[in-house]
Amino acid sequence: MSRLVVISNRLADPRKPAAGGLAVALGEALNQTGGLWFGWSGTVVEGGTPGEGEMHTRSAGAVTLATVDLCREDHDAYYQGYSNSVLWPVFHYRLDLADFNASYIAGYRRVNQMFARKLLPLLRDDDVIWVHDYHLIPLAAELRAMGCCQRIGFFLHIPMPPPLIMAAIPQHEWLMRSLFAYDLVGLQSEADVAHFTRYVRNEGSAEEVGAQRLRAFGATVQVQAFPIGIDVDEFTRLAQAPDAVETYENIRDEYSRRRLLLGIDRLDYSKGIPHRVRAYRELLDRYPENRNSATMIMIASPSRDDVHAYSDLRQELEGLCGSVNGDYGELDWMPVRYIHRTVARKRVPGLCRAAAVGLVTPLRDGMNLVAKEYVVAQDPEDPGVLVLSRFAGAAEQLKEALLVNPYDTQGTADSIQHALQMPLPERQARHQKLMARIREHDVHWWRKAFLQALQEAGD
């Protein structure tokens, strides 16, 4: 069996359960073959030389973890700049938040080149290489230019935007052409595949040369949707463990007179958190029976605090939550509990299970794993209802959720009310179907399907 090499911007120690489903799933695959995991160390070196970074290697079981430091200049241009201030906003359709500072692209290329240079001597002839996410789009092209002939696959965790939005990025053609250095490009949804295909047909005169294979820019690539899943068994075990049970019982006792609505997200503008607060406000306004009876818990874990758009979002959210609590709150009832901290992973399933409604309402999202975690955490005998944005990749699979348009405040409020009033048999029937689909397409299915397609790509 070939050795697996995983490359992602950040690494997690695959042996630690706190790392979450993706790290566990990748760790499992790496352990099977005795693999290598390569990426940024997370360390920023002040005053270092651009394009140079020290490499550190250590073992975690059968897996070698190799990480490279970044100097301040590289970090600011590659990570904060091009990755998180150009690619992240544009790929989430937020041209208004993009910062097309011309100096970022050089740092992005420099770091990808450095990663390729550092990685190359670590590679073996029969390795299979799996590159993850938007930080590393040109990595295969850099590796190929240095003579690398191994099979290389790429998975994009975030959405692929429609061609005209993509075209707002000054280097769009270079980025898309870079993807043709891979043997396989995996995307989250069929909508993403359609956007990719349309772009390369329009801009690269692509031809279809077989099932899911496109030829453009003088190369051929296979493009396919692999909707990422969660580790259902791991999450179920977590849900049954004492910490989750205790969290569930505490919350249930504390809110015994209330129906709970729950949102858990990284504090990110793609997640539609302010829109959700506005919909909740509308719910209290239009359906006054929920006053003094519904409580919305919003966990927004800190994320990328040093990017400007994120501090603006935090302020906006604090203002919105404050005004709902000020306008509707009572001495013994706070309508919104907003927590800007990370909750321990072992408590997440208990929180989900205690909530009658799970609110997952991103404005755009590659997949959204919280939607799947919420469903898996439910009691099948008395499950809560998932209210899910139609703009999350997960909406292509989770059709039995109540699908909403988060920009439509009134419609979202109506759907939340529908969720709160849904009779038990309907909740059970929807939950059962959702559960079956989430179980069938779990993270292990995703990993195996991707790696099998990569093995076969081009055969």
Instruction: State the residues that interact with ligand GDG by CB under 6 A.
Output: 20, 157-158, 228, 264, 266, 299, 301, 342-345, 348, 365-370, 373
C-beta closer to ligand GDG: residue 127 or 373: 373
Dist CA 267 CA 274 (whole Å): 10
Q: Shortest gap between Cβ of 393 and ligand GDG (angstroms)?
A: 6
Residue 332 DSSP one-character state: T
Dist CA 365 CA 276 (whole Å): 15
Q: Shortest gap between Cβ of 93 and ligand GDG (angstroms)?
A: 13
C-beta closer to ligand GDG: residue 140 or 367: 367
195-212 burial, b for 16+ CB within 10 Å, e for fewer?
A: bbbbbbeebbebeeeeeb
Residue located via tokens 């993403």:
192
Angle at 360 between CA 356 and CA 366, to 5 degrees: 150
C-beta closer to ligand GDG: residue 66 or 299: 299
Residues known to be catalytic: 157, 365
Q: Shortest gap between Cβ of 73 and ligand GDG (angstroms)?
A: 26
338 closest CA partner among 313, 318, 365: 318
Q: Shortest gap between Cβ of 345 and ligand GDG (angstroms)?
A: 4
C-beta closer to ligand GDG: residue 74 or 365: 365
Dist CA 283 CA 38 (whole Å): 47
DSSP per position, 205-233: --EE-STTEEEETTEEEEEEE------HH
Residue located via tokens 């400007």:
308
Dist CA 444 CA 459 (whole Å): 24
166 closest CA partner among 200, 138, 139, 135: 200
8 A C-beta contact, residue 375 and residue 434: yes
Whole-number CA gyration radius for the chain: 23
8 A C-beta contact, residue 431 and residue 438: no
Q: Shortest gap between Cβ of 116 and ligand GDG (angstroms)?
A: 23
8 A C-beta contact, residue 318 and residue 338: yes
Six token digits for residue 391: 């703009």
Residue 236 makes CB contacts below 8 A (sequence gap 6+) with: 376
C-beta closer to ligand GDG: residue 83 or 368: 368
Residue 247 makes CB contacts below 8 A (sequence gap 6+) with: 347, 349, 350, 351, 354
Tell me the sheet residues that pair with 220: 215
Q: Shortest gap between Cβ of 303 and ligand GDG (angstroms)?
A: 8
8 A C-beta contact, residue 209 and residue 220: yes
Q: Shortest gap between Cβ of 128 and ligand GDG (angstroms)?
A: 20
CA atoms within 13 A on the CB side of 42: 4
Q: Shortest gap between Cβ of 347 and ligand GDG (angstroms)?
A: 8
8 A C-beta contact, residue 226 and residue 449: yes
Q: How far apart, in Å, are the Cα atoms of 62 and each of 4, 58, 67, 234, 266?
A: 12, 11, 16, 21, 31
C-beta closer to ligand GDG: residue 114 or 166: 166
Six token digits for residue 151: 């099979």
Dist CA 328 CA 336 (whole Å): 10
C-beta closer to ligand GDG: residue 420 or 434: 434
C-beta closer to ligand GDG: residue 49 or 240: 240
Q: Shortest gap between Cβ of 92 and ligand GDG (angstroms)?
A: 8
C-beta closer to ligand GDG: residue 284 or 395: 395
Dist CA 72 CA 97 (whole Å): 23
